[in-house]
Amino acid sequence: MCGVDKPLFSRRTMLRGLGASSLLVVAGCSTNPQLGRQQLILVDEGQLSEMGGAAWRDIRQQERVSRSPQLNRRIEEIGSRIVRAAGLEERYDWEYAVFENEQANAFALPGGKIGVNTGLIELARSDDEIAAVVGHEVAHVTSRHSAERVSQSMLSEVGVSLAQMGLGGGEAAAALLGAGVQYGVLLPYSRKQEYEADRLGLHYAAAAGYDPRAALTFWQSMAEQKQQGQPAEFLSTHPADANRIAALQQELRAMGYS
């Protein structure tokens, strides 16, 4: 696939024909040197930052923010170091928050918002492990993965709608085409983005002065915590744990870590 910042097109404009959708792909394709591949970007930086800001406000309203000064200072220190290592310190007005949530999760939103759940802090054995996760999330921002996923979703909706118009078949056809797009395009691509964020996150953590090998111990802990019945990798937006750990090990060896 492929991304140059372009204005967000309306659905009506995009549904004018297959020729129009082809033009969107050409117009939105450029090479991302950090990733070494092309990206499709149909949404500009300002729009994406607005989306990130709106999501941040919603999350802060829906989730309880930790009142622990120690936890919030800890995450801000780790996050700030990762952001500086990624070269993003001056790009956004960064905000950090710890959320009282038992799920071991963290996120970085476009526009410079980083959230970490208490469940992840409790699972992590060290600041190095937290830094590995935050580095991964910040890598999604530097890689413009959110813009890419939004653009892919826009284009997939166009393709399904156009196919329905040309082939007929009603709801059954729409469901079949939608499943094909979901499992054949969007989810595998998401896994590719996860691997990219893993790779870049290791470098950000190392550049920030943390031990990137902590990513291995963290994901091993995550694998141990998971219950039986994990979905097959092809039905998941994230890589299987064993595959992710193997890819991390390979990148660490390339970085000179044994």
Q: Calculate the dihedral angle through the C-alpha atoms of 88, 89, 90, 94, rounding to the nearest 10 degrees.
A: 100
Tell me how far apart the alpha carbons of residues 35 and 197 are, in angstroms, rounded to a whole number.
10
Interacting residues of 89 by C-beta distance below 8 A, sequence separation 6+: 80, 83
- What is the distance in angstroms between the CA of the first residue and the CA of the last residue of the chain? 34
- Complete DSSP assignment for 4-45: ---PPPPHHHHTT-HHHHHHHHHHTEEEETTTTEEEE--S-H
Band of the pLDDT at 106, cuts 50, 70, 90?
very high
Tell me how far apart the alpha carbons of residues 56 and 95 are, in angstroms, rounded to a whole number.
10
Is the pLDDT confidence value at 11 over 70?
no
Band of the pLDDT at 229, cuts 50, 70, 90?
low
Across the chain, mean pLDDT equals 79
Question: How many helices (H) and strands (E) would you count in the chain?
Answer: 11, 5
- Complete DSSP assignment for 50-67: HHHHHHHHHHHHHSPBP-
| Structure token pair of residue 208 | 């920030």
Is the pLDDT confidence value at 71 over 70?
yes
Q: What per-residue confidence (pLDDT) applies to 227?
A: 60
Q: Which residues are catalytic, by number?
A: 137
Q: What per-residue confidence (pLDDT) applies to 239?
A: 86
Q: What per-residue confidence (pLDDT) applies to 46?
A: 83
Q: What per-residue confidence (pLDDT) applies to 76?
A: 98
Tokens 């393709």 belong to residue:
159
Tokens 């600041």 belong to residue:
127
Give yes or no for a contact between 56 and 18, defined as CB atoms under 8 angstroms apart.
Answer: no
Tell me how far apart the alpha carbons of residues 237 and 191 are, in angstroms, rounded to a whole number.
5
Band of the pLDDT at 198, cuts 50, 70, 90?
very high
**Would you call 119 exposed, middle or buried from its count of C-beta atoms within 10 A (0-12, 13-18, 19+)?**
middle
Q: What per-residue confidence (pLDDT) applies to 207?
A: 98
Q: What per-residue confidence (pLDDT) applies to 4?
A: 32
Tell me how far apart the alpha carbons of residues 203 and 143 are, in angstroms, rounded to a whole number.
13
